[in-house]
Amino acid sequence: MTFSPIPAQPPLPAAQDVPTRIAFMAAPTEAARHEFDRLARQYGNVHPGEAEVIVCLGGDGFMLETLRVVLEENLKVPVYGMNCGSVGFLMNPMLEEDLPQRLATTQAAQLHPLRMKATQVSGEVFEALALNDVFLFRQTRQAAKLRVDVDGMVRMPELICDGALVATPAGSTAYNLSAHGPIVPLAGNMLPLTPICPFRPRRWRGALLPSTAHVGFTILEHEKRPVAAVADSIEIRDVVSVHVHEDRSLAVTVLFDPGQTLSERITAEQFSA
């Protein structure tokens, strides 16, 4: 991530609800750096902790990294993404004209992260947040063997698969959808639990769980069939157990152009070819 303080030239005209303190954060790509330089010169750039809004320049991956920083540093600042990547599901078009005025007309979506607690073979415990999904996957040629618990009750004594994932509603259109999991509306208060290439039981397609659910994975035969766990981009290898739940005490606000809200995008995705 990049931050360079640059005074606004000229200063933005005062207007009600139009932000004058914008923090730009750019992915480490040529396209994002180019836009960062142009926008920072035009509108100025402040530290994220002093900003009224953070403008994220990159793709969905960098957007998730930015949102994680906002959560971990408790910034309480909304984030507006401008697409300099490929898919850009969480992003808005790369249009620089009248940016402050556009920011004043955006619509907000509040996202709650998943909290992952992963225990390694060594006994070391790691925690991480995920706004897309938490997934487990096999580290070797052999399939993983998982036991699946929900709220402390064993729901599947043995799942033989390449892996499994728990997604947020916002993340249900990402890896979860590719693994044939269901798309969940943003206001649905549901978490999809989806197997990745299940071998036994072969026809199990997963489950829709209430957002209050605590999901536990125990890795069976972990020495023979090692498994890694990933929370968005944070990977923990050689895990023996993973616990996942939605952390409602944390939230981040993402901004979208009018008519292009995240709820609308999730709905539209269900009707795409």
Q: Was 4 annotated as part of a binding site?
A: no
- Residue 236 pairs in a beta bridge with 229
List, edge to edge, every strand of the sheet that includes 252-256: 22-26, 53-58, 79-83, 252-256, 107-111
Q: Was 218 annotated as part of a binding site?
A: no
Nearest to 193 by CA among 136, 141, 240, 241: 136
User: Residue 250 and residue 190: Cα distance in Å, rounded?
Assistant: 17
pLDDT for the residue numbered 166: 98
When pLDDT is averaged across residues 237-257 and rounded to a whole number, the result is: 96
User: Residue 71 and residue 62: Cα distance in Å, rounded?
Assistant: 14
pLDDT for the residue numbered 267: 85
Nearest to 95 by CA among 150, 55, 61, 66: 55
Q: Was 60 annotated as part of a binding site?
A: yes
Q: Was 175 annotated as part of a binding site?
A: yes
Q: Any idea where the domains of the chain sit in the sequence?
A: 22-111+251-269, 114-246
Whether the Cβ atoms of residue 249 and residue 84 lie closer than 8 Å to each other: no
| pLDDT reading at 86 higher than 90 | no
pLDDT digits 0-9 by tens, 14-66: 333 799 999 999 999 999 999 999 999 999 999 999 999 999 999 998 999 99
The average confidence (pLDDT) of the chain is 91
pLDDT digits 0-9 by tens, 139-160: 999 999 999 999 999 999 999 9
Q: Which CATH class is domain 114-246?
A: mainly beta
- 174 or 13: whose pLDDT is higher? 174
pLDDT for the residue numbered 261: 83
User: Residue 52 and residue 254: Cα distance in Å, rounded?
Assistant: 13
Answer yes or no: CATH 3.40.47.10 is held by domain 22-111+251-269: no
Q: Was 176 annotated as part of a binding site?
A: yes
Whether the Cβ atoms of residue 14 and residue 46 lie closer than 8 Å to each other: no
Q: What are phi and psi for residue 68, nearest 5 degrees?
A: -65, -40
pLDDT for the residue numbered 264: 87
For the chain, percent of residues with pLDDT exceeding 70? 94
- DSSP at 92: B
User: Residue 131 and residue 135: Cα distance in Å, rounded?
Assistant: 12
Active site residues: 60
Q: Was 74 annotated as part of a binding site?
A: no
Q: Was 173 annotated as part of a binding site?
A: yes
User: Tokens 């139009």 identify what position?
Assistant: 18
Whether the Cβ atoms of residue 147 and residue 158 lie closer than 8 Å to each other: yes
When pLDDT is averaged across residues 106-111 and rounded to a whole number, the result is: 92
Q: Was 83 annotated as part of a binding site?
A: no
Q: Was 189 annotated as part of a binding site?
A: no
**Residue 262 is which amino acid?**
L
Q: What are phi and psi for residue 58, nearest 5 degrees?
A: 165, -150
